[in-house]
Amino acid sequence: MSRLIDIALVGIAALQIAQSAAADLPPDVLVQSSRLKIMRADFDAELANVPPGLRTEFAANNDRVSKLMNSLLETKALAAEARANGLGKDPDVQARVAAQIDRVLAMARSEQIERDAEAAFDRRRDDFVGRAREIYLLDRAKYTTPEQVRVTHILIRTDKHTKEEALKIASEVRARVVADGADFAAVARQYSEDPSAKSNGGTLGWVAAGQVDRAFWTGATALPKQGDISEPVLTSFGYHIIRLDGKKASELQPFEVVKEQALADVKRDYVKAAKTAVLDQIFKDPTLQMNQPAIDSLTTKMDAETFRKAGAAVAK
């Protein structure tokens, strides 16, 4: 059964296109009319503007594909009208078209340099293991797992109570856990104002500095041994009662564990250096001439009053 494709064009009459039977159009022709044709290659060229890692996800979304097709149809139709109206012969338009062609070609060349450098690196990958080991030893912090603590907490929020009230409640809850030996998770489910406490009993699992409020981290790491329970700790969320469930010291990971990561870092630097070498040759070209006076004339000269008026106009 054939489907109908409705494509709205901004600024021109809305068109409703009945999709022809598959036999009527070649597989590589997506849309066709008396004045335009959209090929699969046109779609692929537009899709190339999407970051490589997102293209599969993009193409799997019907709404996004439809919007891209709508945009393509609009572009093709307006371009056809521009040619019919003689705009393709306008010198300014021709200059803009040439500039766009140069941008596309420059991007294609840049991508080619990257691909070639990546391929060259991959062919000699084993030769770079020594450099990867050097980076590993020089930048040890990058390959070191951070200190971590495993904690369970009870939160009394200061946006629901005053600080004084929250501290009083937190102190009473802590006393119940410490003095009465009540089950910490059960008390967390009953009293904690962290929404997740009802389901997880207040456990946060393993956390590192930067993943939790700084005051929370300081309070948790100050606990000397597993099972210790903190005094109420004030953070931007409220007062926390923290139980230490475990500690992991920071540790430099063995090279074999991070070897692939280190090699990826070396590869990135290798590709960057390859691109830099090519770009450097552009500015080192002995035939390169700069008409500095003409270049300087491109900068608009404005006195202070003109500059002030221009700024005021932009601000309105």
What is the C-alpha separation between 119 and 274, in angstroms, rounded? Answer: 12
**N- to C-terminal Cα separation, the chain:** 56
Residue 163: what are its φ and ψ, rounded to 5°? -60, -40
pLDDT score of 74: 93
What is the C-alpha separation between 241 and 234, in angstroms, rounded? Answer: 9
- Of 96, 79, 61, the residue nearest 9 (C-alpha): 79
The answer to which of 1-10, 18-27, 131-140 has the lowest mean pLDDT is 1-10
SS3 45: helix
Render pLDDT for 65-119 as a digit per residue (tens, 0 to 9).
Answer: 999 999 999 999 999 999 999 999 999 999 999 999 999 999 999 999 999 999 9
The answer to which of 9-18, 220-229, 253-262 has the lowest mean pLDDT is 9-18
Residues 6+ apart with CB under 8 A from 247: 147, 148, 149, 150, 221, 226
Query: Tokens standing for 261?
Result: 């990561």
Distances (CA, A) of 88 to 74, 85, 108, 208: 17, 8, 24, 60
pLDDT range class, residue 24, cuts 50, 70, 90: confident
What is the C-alpha separation between 268 and 118, in angstroms, rounded? Answer: 9
- Of 109, 140, 131, the residue nearest 269 (C-alpha): 131
Half-sphere exposure of 267 (CA within 13 A, CB side): 19
In the predicted structure, residue 303 carries a pLDDT above the cut 80: no
Where is pLDDT greater, at 192 or 288? 192
Cα 137 off chain centre by:
29
pLDDT score of 316: 65
pLDDT range class, residue 7, cuts 50, 70, 90: very low
Average pLDDT, the chain: 88
Which pTM was predicted? Answer: 0.64
What is the C-alpha separation between 73 and 32, in angstroms, rounded? Answer: 10
Residue indicated by tokens 């009319």: 33
